[in-house]
């Protein structure tokens, strides 16, 4: 699942124009200047596209930091793999 974490970090860095070493698992939406409501939506869409997953509205609103987001994406990927015939 380290590949997922790396992918999430790459996407966050690209979406918010920050270096991957400029944030951590403890970084939350209020900690990066471009991570506002529009940035949040764009991040979710980029993650869904990259990992070929769908996140619910509850998922999107439930994470408090990047560590939570990585765990959420890992769970969604596992679920998507189970559903694939």
Q: What is the pLDDT of residue 83?
A: 80
Section 10-35 average pLDDT = 95
Question: Cα–chain-centroid distance for residue 48?
Answer: 9
Section 22-50 average pLDDT = 95
Domain boundaries, position 19? 2-83
How many domains does the chain contain in total? 1
Instruction: Give the CATH number of the domain where residue 51 resides.
Output: 1.10.1200.10
Name which residue leads in pLDDT, 65 or 82: 65
């Amino acid at each position: 699942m380290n590949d997922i974490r790396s992918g999430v970090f790459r996407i966050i860095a690209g979406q918010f124009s920050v270096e991957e070493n400029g944030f951590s698992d403890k970084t939350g939406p209020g900690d990066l200047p471009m991570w506002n409501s529009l940035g949040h939506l764009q991040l979710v869409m980029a993650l869904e596209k990259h990992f070929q997953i769908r996140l619910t509205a509850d998922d999107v609103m439930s994470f408090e930091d990047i560590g939570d987001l990585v765990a959420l994406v890992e769970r969604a990927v596992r679920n998507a793999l189970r559903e694939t015939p």
